[in-house]
A and B are shown apart, each in its own frame.
Chain A
């Protein structure tokens, strides 16, 4: 479990003329769970969207030593990048099982069946609801489905954008529990969260993002003790789960 899985260098992302991510660099080792925390509007979602290729960006992105920068989104997904977006982006009028199968669209058919069994074993709730339409699921189930769909691709790096957003505290605990399980199973995870306290509890390493830049980084316990960050940006106490 060593080697660099993701290397981002000097990433700039702009919406039209307005640059919202200013030269972000980050690096993560294989099998690690890294979190990027920061206030709303700090550019965290933009950063993830640029890494996966949904947004054009300048700078370099490498996945396991492979250059991603010039490649379109579909090819990055094939190379092993998977994003669970903030809005889940499920196929609402299709069944849970079809959503999952499409998650493995790029895998050979035989592997797809195996992956489906794995996902159902990890998310028994999805197994119960396999024939139900994704649009009829509860918020927590949708998040599970979005994660399951991303895992169906057997990604080298799983990126999650605000997986706790809009979920009840108990469900948030479940989601974070699953993340720790996935990490234990060797999945590399890049987690973007506003719920800083929860994220810092499970992460191996943390980046703090403010106004489009990385302003602090370190071990989660160091970040959690930084009084300036706590007061200015992380909003501990207001954002507990």
Chain B
């Protein structure tokens, strides 16, 4: 994934000798050594990768804490956002609007089927408003806005707004009806959702890969190291959203209610926190985090309809390193995964994915020896 191929082609990044080696690293495996300049480049790459993984990893931790779902398709939000922005940049109506409408219809059917016994007119109206009318409004807005080419800020805003409702919709379609199932069942369904979304992604977005415009074309140098505006934007955005995330969960009652759901499910129900709403909110936040990641990675890589999977999987590695419990640990682990990936792509680029995923093995071993029995 994030091989930062574009960044590699920026003049500053290929100046030092070491980086020339890195480009052909697969042939010269074993000879490549890391000097301090290369180390700094790799560190920068690692931090950028890690920042993107961090957003996805805390979304995974959040969803798992609140709903016990290991949300494999988190990466899909990332890819679909980037593809949406790319479509808007080309002045085309993003196919995302149709995907949203399709998901909305499915969510409406799912909720009506699940709650048919206690369906009220008010509830039907709410379903119609959120699942059908809202996507139709978005279709109308996107149809008007897309050909006008109003600029990057509008594209980003529209893409994020189109992606966020998909989170709660997916929760209601796939997970709410089986909310009380075991973690394993939920995981299998999460894989099902992943494959369905990838399939839908192919139908709606097509097989072509595409990149989006850089958030910033500026760059400045710090000694031998050249720092691009894009990388600053990535890190700054991630830091801002992590801070907002911490503020939301530390201060707001809704954030505390979501924490309560993960702390004690029965206790949360007994104080009247509706588990369904908690699930929907956490999926909405996850979709939002995914969309932000999509805005950030779009300019860094060529995004295909199925590019999200590897991002999600690496975020999953980071989330597991953090025990699927701790947000700060997940962030630190994301940076470690990002740096490891940068390092492995320098040393053994053909094996970098394998090596990144291999990081999970010792952690799983350690956790299986230290976790209490029967903990799911």
Contact for B271 among A88, A92, A105, CB less than 8 A: A105
Return the CB mask of B267-279 against A: 1 if under 8 Å, else 0.
1111111110000
Q: Which residues of A contact B272 (CB under 8 A)?
A: 74, 77-78, 105-106, 153
Write out the residue numbers on chain A whose beta carbons fall within 8 Å of the beta carbon of B264. Answer: 89-92
Whether the pair A103, B263 counts as a contact (CB closer than 8 A) is: no
> How far apart sit A199 and B56, CA to CA, in the bound complex (Å)?
53
Please pick, from B270, B273, B275, the residue contacting A52 in the complex, using a CB distance under 8 A. Answer: B270
Chain B residues near A83 (CB-CB < 8 A): 270
Residue pairs across A and B with Cβ atoms less than 8 A apart, 25 shown, are A52-B270, A54-B269, A70-B118, A73-B269, A74-B269, A74-B273, A82-B270, A83-B270, A89-B264, A89-B266, A92-B264, A93-B263, A101-B253, A102-B256, A102-B257, A102-B260, A102-B271, A103-B271, A105-B257, A105-B272, A106-B271, A106-B272, A152-B271, A153-B271, A153-B272
CA distance A77 to B270 in the complex (A): 7
- Give the size of the chain B interface in residues (CB under 8 angstroms): 18
Residue A98 lies at the interface, judged by CB distance under 8 Å to chain B? yes
**Contact flags B100-141 to A (C-beta < 8 A → 1, else 0):** 000000000000000000100000000000000000000000
A26 to B268, CA, bound (A): 27
CB pair B266–A85 under 8 Å, yes or no, is yes
Query: B118–A91 contact, CB under 8 A?
Result: no
Binding site for B on A (CB under 8 A): 52, 54, 70, 73-74, 77-78, 82-83, 85, 88-94, 98, 101-103, 105-106, 109, 149-150, 152-153
Question: Nearest Cβ in chain B — how far from A80, in angstroms?
Answer: 10
The answer to whether B259 has its CB under 8 Å from any CB of chain A is: yes
What is the CA–CA distance of A91 and B285 in the complex, to the nearest angstrom? Answer: 22
| Distance of A150 Cα from B259 Cα, bound (Å) | 18
Q: Which of B253, B259, B270, B274 contacts A89 (CB 8 A)?
A: B270
**With the chains together, A221 CA to B275 CA distance in Å?**
43
Select the residue from A91, A103, A152 with max chain B CB neighbours within 10 A: A91
Determine if B256 and A101 form an interchain contact, defined as CB atoms under 8 angstroms apart.
Answer: yes
Known A54-B266, A70-B118; judge A94-B256 contact (CB<8 A): yes
B263 pairs with A105, CB closer than 8 A: no
Asked if B118 and A77 make an inter-chain contact with CB atoms under 8 angstroms apart, the answer reads no
Chain B residues lying within 8 Å of A54, measured Cβ to Cβ, are 266, 269-270
Chain A residues within an 8 Å CB radius of B269: 54, 73-74, 77
Assembly CA distance A74 to B261 (angstroms) = 13
The distance from the CB of A204 to the nearest CB of chain B, in whole angstroms, is 25
* Nearest CB in chain B: distance from A194 CB, A: 21
Query: Which residue of chain B has the shortest Cβ distance to A112 in the bound complex?
Result: B253
Q: Give CA–CA (A73, B270) in the complex, Å.
A: 7
Q: Which of A88, A102, A103, A150 has the most CB of B within 10 A?
A: A102
Q: Which of B267-296 contact A (CB under 8 A)?
A: 267-275
B residues within 8 A CB of A77?
269-272
| Further 7 A-B residue pairs, CB within 8 A, beyond A74-B273, A150-B270 | A52-B270, A74-B274, A82-B270, A89-B264, A91-B267, A102-B253, A102-B273
Within 8 Å CB of B253, what residues of A?
A: 101-102, 105, 109
In the assembled complex, which residues on chain A have CB atoms less than 8 Å from the CB atom of B274? 74
User: Measured between alpha carbons, how far is A52 from B259 in the docked complex, in Å?
Assistant: 23
- A85 near B256 with CB under 8 A, answer no
A94→B259 contact, CB < 8 A: yes
A105: chain B residues within 8 A (beta carbon):
253, 257, 271-273
Contact indicator A98/B256 (Cβ below 8 Å): yes
A73 to B266 Cα, complex, angstroms:
10
Q: How far is the CB of B83 from chain A (nearest CB, A)?
A: 38
Question: Whose C-beta in chain B lies nearest to the C-beta of A134?
Answer: B263
Mark interface residues in B281-313 (1 if CB within 8 Å of A CB, else 0).
Answer: 000000000000000000000000000000000
B256 to A149, Cβ gap below 8 A? no
In the assembled complex, how far is the CB of residue B164 from the closest CB belonging to chain A, in whole angstroms? 24
What residues of A have a CB within 8 angstroms of the CB of B259 in the complex? 91, 93-94
Report Cα–Cα, A122/B319, bound state, in Å.
Answer: 42
* Minimum distance in angstroms from B343 CB to a CB of chain A: 35
Q: Bound complex: CA of A152 vs CA of B118, how far in Å?
A: 29
Q: How far is the CA of A88 from the CA of B264 in the complex (A)?
A: 10
Q: Which residues of A contact B271 (CB under 8 A)?
A: 77, 102-103, 105-106, 149, 152-153
CB neighbours (8 Å) of A101 from chain B are 253, 256
Report the nearest B residue to A78, measured CB to CB.
B272
> How far does the alpha carbon of A54 sit from the alpha carbon of B266 in the complex, in Å?
8
Nearest to B267 among chain A residues (CB) is: A89
B260 cross-chain contacts in A, Cβ below 8 A: 91, 94, 102
In the assembled complex, which residues on chain B have CB atoms less than 8 Å from the CB atom of A94?
256, 259-260, 263
Is there an interface contact between B266 and A91, defined as CB atoms closer than 8 Å? no
User: How many Å from the CB of B234 to the closest CB on chain A?
Assistant: 31
Most buried by A among B260, B272, B275: B272
A150 and B269 CA atoms in complex are apart in Å by 12
Q: How distant is A74 from chain B, measured CB to nearest CB, in Å?
A: 4
How far is A90 from B270 in the complex, measured between Cα atoms in Å?
Answer: 10
**Once the chains are docked, how many angstroms separate the CA of A70 from the CA of B274?**
16
By Cβ-Cβ distance, the 10 closest A-B pairs, closest first, are A77-B272, A89-B267, A91-B263, A106-B272, A74-B274, A89-B266, A91-B260, A103-B271, A102-B260, A89-B264
